[in-house]
Amino acid sequence: MKQSPPPVTASTVNWISAQPPLLRFLHACYADFLPEDGGTVADYIPELGKADPAHFGISLATLDGHVYEVGDTKVPFTIQSMSKPFVFALALDTLGAERVESVIGVEPSGDPFNSIRLNAENHPFNPMVNAGAIACSGLIHTAKGDGAFEFIRQALSRFAGRELGVDEAVYASESATGDRNRAIGYLLRTNGVIAENVPDVLDVYFRQCAILVTARDIAVMAATLANRGINPLTEQQVMTPYAISRALSVMTSSGMYDYAGEWIYRVGVPAKSGVGGGILAALPARLGLGSYSPKLDKHGNSVRGIKVCEALSAHYDLHMLNRSDDARHSIIADYNIGKNPSRRVRRPQEQEILAKHFQEVRVIELVGTLSLSNVDYVSRRLGGGPRPEFVIFDLRRVTATTRAGARLVAEAFQELAALGVTVILSGIKRTSREWTTISEWTSRLGNIRDFYLLDTAIEWAEDQIVYRYGGSIDFVETTELSEQPLLAGLDEAALGDFAALCTVRTYQPHETIIAAGDAATSVFFLRSGVVHVTLPDGVRLATLTAGMAFGEMALLEPKRSANVVADMSATAFEITIADFERFRAQHPPACERIMRNLAQLLADRLIVANAKVDLLTSG
């Protein structure tokens, strides 16, 4: 058996190069296994025997909502036993774990799926065999009465992300030939597992098995299981994570019937098969796979479907017990504000304080999933070096948060609070799923601040350091041009002539002073207030206070490349480029000095930008 894509030829190179690697691999699997002729179509339910044995479809759904499809993925077929994990999860959510677990076990049986046998406690071995599945249908019937089947159909539709119908012919055929399941039903009634009318319960069971799905549907349903109950297409939480984790657990041990041990040993992905020819496989936190091919092996599993799952697991090393995630890769950067200050331009007094106390603010940028092992590593990493006064955790690259990880985060925050360290979060929206998970554990901690932008979080922490060490961040008026770094070193005569060419301008809060793309006709020197400089896409480049210049690139470029907006009421000295040229003719040495100062300012900015790049590439 090949496990790589077919050879590339001149006629196929354009087609293949346009495909993502996963889709190319699924095409290769389809080509490899389509000739497979082993197995037989199930005919103990006569209507199932009418399935076309040539049908073969493979679909794979990712947790970000992308679905790959190859072959007959739109062909409808009945879900059969693949409904079992979903109805088990539904029963757990509807009646509660204690009630469900009191009458249904979770141990493998080692018997065929339709065995008429109970465990030592006279309960079904697990919900993946027919006895356990009928018991689940009975529990739903107890809770919902005549609406039980519709309740189940709607739940499965939420898993698939669309309304699912029923194959009435298969339902009638199952009902007419379901004497073995009737025997199981009465055995369950005799032992008190179900208390309902047996024919009514079996009618629900036969109908749920006849629900129509496609290979695409079951891939999405599997991905919803893999995504802790959140449908990756609709983003709806269709079932609680508790119910999902328990369903996956039983799928792992018993989903493939008396082939389950071999399956988990060789493939290592929780899965469930159905005699209609489908197999769904759900790899937690990664993907969902659905395949359809009606010809079954002696265990009742799709022959081609088994081969697809084996090939995918082997090729991409997806065995769930062979995870190789390295917690050390969860930190993309770890630094203090000495290496990466905020974009706020500081006055000399503030710079002096921050230069002396730069180790008091530590920033840790995280990536990937906040799992227990990752958070534990971060906690131990944080313990190295001097204790800071502020720790900023940047979560903008975090894609998921486990409950265990969130709980450990909260416990780590409690420890930091006890040591007098203030925790600051950045990069996470309060409406996001990650915020909900984290805040569930951290809501009672009063020492946590959060800012969406990392730069805003760093600026706030810097302000606190300035305040704590005797500094002040005043918005006073600066009337002297001699305090401007761009004009440093000019003598009094030159400064006097320069001031005579300036005009004082006043700006209202949120007023745009400079717009990107406009002609660069002036340079400004802020006298009072605060302005911020942003790129056209809104990324902040700098925040400036009184005593600082902006628009100075007009001395080098004809067009504005950034916006400048007043944060509050502000005043500024403005000198036009035309007046500056007149000043240059009057005071050549002074203008040379201004250009040297500008070169130094640009060099300082480049050093900071390089430091940011170094942090990310070496983190």
Residues with a known catalytic role: 81, 84, 205, 257, 275
Q: Residue 14: helix, strand or coil by DSSP?
A: helix
CB 95 within 8 A of CB 143: yes
Q: Can you list the alpha helix ranges (DSSP code H) found in 145-214?
A: 148-160, 168-177, 179-190, 198-209
DSSP H helices in 255-392: 260-266, 303-316, 348-356, 372-382
DSSP single-letter state for residue 432: S
Q: What is the DSSP letter of 553?
A: G
Strands 503-507 and 40-41: unpaired
Residue whose tokens read 């036969």:
206
If 0-12 CB within 10 Å is exposed, 13-18 middle and 19+ buried, where does residue 81 land? Answer: buried
Residue with tokens 């201004």: 594
Q: Which residues are bridge partners to 370 per DSSP?
A: 401
| Alpha-carbon dihedral sign for residues 71, 73, 76, 77 | positive
Tokens of 15: 């087609």
Closest among 89, 137, 129 to 299, alpha carbons compared: 129
CA distance 370 to 372: 7
User: Could you identify the residue written with the tokens 């993907």?
Assistant: 287
Exposure class string for 194-204: b at 16+ Cβ within 10 A, else e: bebebebbbbb
Is residue 311 within 8 A of residue 3, CB to CB? The reply is yes
CB 256 within 8 A of CB 263: yes
Contacts of 326 by beta carbon, 8 Å cutoff, 6+ apart: none
